[in-house]
Structure 1
């Protein structure tokens, strides 16, 4: 699996920003290859619907057929990339690009809300319950400092994942890192 798919076309970003496509791609990345029927059961959608959206993801290079685990009856799909990324500054040069970025950010918030709703403390050991959660911070930073924070957070996460690879207590963990400036009138 390649590391990242860098999107530079707003139309391609809109393709992946569809709510079901975001979810299907996320499931393939997190849980590995699956068929349209399996994904339909996981998402509560018909296999016809998931099949259509999987073909769209395939058409734009987000997923590929999993030739290693072909069952002969139904295609198995797998994600081609671990992450999807885009340059918001470049895409925001047009109205179409600004709208695509806005829609994708809203999809990310939807996924965050879904993860928070699904988390039930009674399902987890006390150690996980103690460290699970979210925090918000409000600081005055210039763009360069926010960029540095985002880059360093990614580096720290990569280092921790490498250091703890194979740990029997390790689990997949949802992590969101974001930073958005506030307009001055919001600060009053």
Structure 2
């Protein structure tokens, strides 16, 4: 699996703004190859619906057939990339690009809300309960400072993932990193 799929075309990014497609892609990235039927059962959707949306993800290059683990008559699909990225400045050159970026950011925030809501402390060890969570910071940085922060968090995450590979208590962890300047109206009031 490749590391990243860098998108430059708003039409391609729009393909994953559909909630079912985004969830399908997320499951293939997190859980590995699956058939439309397997994904349909996990998500409470018909295999016809998941099959259609998988073909759309395939058409736009997000997934591919998993020939190594073909399942008789039904196709197995796998994600082609660990994550999707885009350059917001370049993508925002058009109204369509600005719209699709907004939809993606809102979807990411909704997914974060769902994960927070589903986290049940009673199901996890004290170590996980102590470390899981979020923080909220306000820092004064120029765009270059925020860019450096984002790049360094990715470096740290790669380093920690490599260092802890194979640990006995390893779990998949969902991590969100974001930074936005405060709204001007908020600062002036």
TM range (shorter): over 0.9
Which region of structure 1 is more displaced relative to structure 2, 103-112 or 141-150?
103-112
Question: Aligned to 1:16, what secondary structure does the other structure show?
Answer: coil
1:124 aligned partner: 124
Distance in 1 of aligned mates of 2:129 and 2:44: 28
1:177 aligned partner: 177
Deviation sequence 1:106-151 (CA, Å, 0-9, x none): 1111211121122111111111011000111111111000000000
1:135 aligned partner: 135
2:145 aligned partner: 145
Gaps of 5+ in 1: none
Distance in 1 of aligned mates of 2:99 and 2:38: 32
Equivalent residues in 2 for 1:55-70, closer than 5 Å:
55-70=55-70
- What is the CA distance between 1:97 and its match in structure 2? 0.4
Equivalent residues in 2 for 1:156-171, closer than 5 Å:
156-171=156-171
In the alignment of these two chains, the number of paired residues is 188
- What is the CA distance between 1:185 and its match in structure 2? 1.1
* 2:41 is the counterpart of 1:41: yes
Deviation sequence 1:17-42 (CA, Å, 0-9, x none): 11111110000000000111111111
2:81 aligned partner: 81
Which region of structure 1 is more displaced relative to structure 2, 155-164 or 110-119?
110-119
Q: TM-score, normalised by structure 1?
A: 0.98
Deviation sequence 1:149-182 (CA, Å, 0-9, x none): 0000111111111111111111110000000111
Distance in 2 of aligned mates of 1:161 and 1:55: 31
Gaps of 5+ in 2: none
What is the root-mean-square deviation in Å for CA atoms of aligned residues? 0.8
Distance in 2 of aligned mates of 1:47 and 1:97: 31
Distance in 1 of aligned mates of 2:107 and 2:88: 15
Question: Aligned to 1:176, what secondary structure does the other structure show?
Answer: coil
- What is the CA distance between 1:183 and its match in structure 2? 2.1
